[in-house]
Amino acid sequence: MWAIGHPHPQIIYNKIINFETCSHPKLNFLLESIKAEVLWKMGKKEIIRKAEELVEKAMSGNDASHDAAHAFRVRDLALSLAHEETLSTSPDSILIVELAALLHDIGDYKYVRDPSEAKIVEEFLQGQGIEEGMKIKILNIIKGMGFKEEVGGLANTNYSIELGVVQDADRLDAIGAIGIARCFTFGGSRHRVLHDPRIEPRSDLSKENYMNKEEQTTVNHFHEKLLKLKDLMKTKAGKKRAEKRHTYMEDFLKEFYEEWDGRA
């Protein structure tokens, strides 16, 4: 939304195009530059609006752990982290971050109902006229941000700052109070056992057996993934925020085990 007291870009643009051509070349150049910038902002706003609509439509059948609200939270977190990491000075980077964050879970392997869904994001970006280099960056972020790519606990060190920001935002939404709620929501949607002391968390996880979750309990997911995310954060801002959320999960699990065993 535009701040109160600031004219909408469309109003600014309408006033600019009504200027008669000036004989001064520098002023003409300035006016053309302003027109181009205003048009870019107007176009960006429309692309984001359409991306939000796509997210709501494509994720409407998902459970609440991976719904549109999750994508919007990740977007808001990513933009906040980007500001702290001084990415806000680059309009292209901000657009890459916002679109990647919004679209990152469309076509997620956990929810894909039709193979064609894997192409939804690419086709959307193409249809919006996103420049090829920017499109590739967005798709690479989405492809590379999953935990299964770092399941062994070793963080990927070859990444763009935009990927780091979006991935950290997604992982922040997986931990803390929201993360706990999402974890049990997803487990319930898959009829997963809440907790079974006889089933130990898997310590020798590979990408393949991480994706095979048939024997996993919901509580074990904290040990197999969620408690590892703090140390896999890539940005300074993400690491700082993860500390509080991580501690909250540790306190929750301590209380959970005490209540499960009848000690509390």
Tens-place pLDDT, residues 205-245 = 666 666 666 668 999 999 999 999 999 999 999 999 999 99
Query: What pLDDT score was predicted for residue 81?
Result: 98
- In terms of C-beta density within 10 A (0-12 exposed, 13-18 middle, 19 or more buried), how is residue 39 classed? middle
One-letter amino acid at 72 equals F
Helix axis angle, 25-58 to 68-84, nearest 10°: 140
Mean of the pLDDT values across residues 77-81? Answer: 98
Query: What pLDDT score was predicted for residue 5?
Result: 45
Per DSSP, 61 falls in state: T
Mean of the pLDDT values across residues 83-91? Answer: 90
Count of CB atoms within 10 A of residue 12's CB? Answer: 17
Residue 151: band (very low, low, confident or very high) from pLDDT cuts 50, 70, 90: low
Give the tens place of pLDDT for each residue, 175-198: 999 999 999 999 999 999 999 999
- What is the rounded CA–CA span in Å between residue 57 and residue 67? 10
Residue 2: band (very low, low, confident or very high) from pLDDT cuts 50, 70, 90: very low
Mean of the pLDDT values across residues 16-21? Answer: 52
Residue 157: band (very low, low, confident or very high) from pLDDT cuts 50, 70, 90: low
Q: Which CATH class is domain 10-15+24-106+113-260?
A: mainly alpha
Query: What pLDDT score was predicted for residue 108?
Result: 85
User: Tokens 């879970």 label which residue?
Assistant: 105
Nearest residue to 172 (alpha-carbon basis) of 59, 104, 77, 62: 77
- What is the rounded CA–CA span in Å between residue 34 and residue 44? 15
- What is the rounded CA–CA span in Å between residue 122 and residue 100? 11
Q: Are 127 and 46 in contact (CB under 8 A)?
A: no
Query: What pLDDT score was predicted for residue 27?
Result: 64
One-letter amino acid at 167 equals Q
Q: Are 217 and 194 in contact (CB under 8 A)?
A: yes
Residue 10 has pLDDT above 70, yes or no: no
Give the tens place of pLDDT for each residue, 106-142: 988 787 767 777 799 999 999 998 999 999 999 999 9
Q: In the chain, what percentage of residues exceed pLDDT 90?
A: 64
- What is the rounded CA–CA span in Å between residue 148 and residue 64? 21
Per DSSP, 233 falls in state: -
Query: What pLDDT score was predicted for residue 123?
Result: 95
One-letter amino acid at 60 equals S
Containing H/E element for 27? helix 25-58
Q: Are 243 and 256 in contact (CB under 8 A)?
A: no
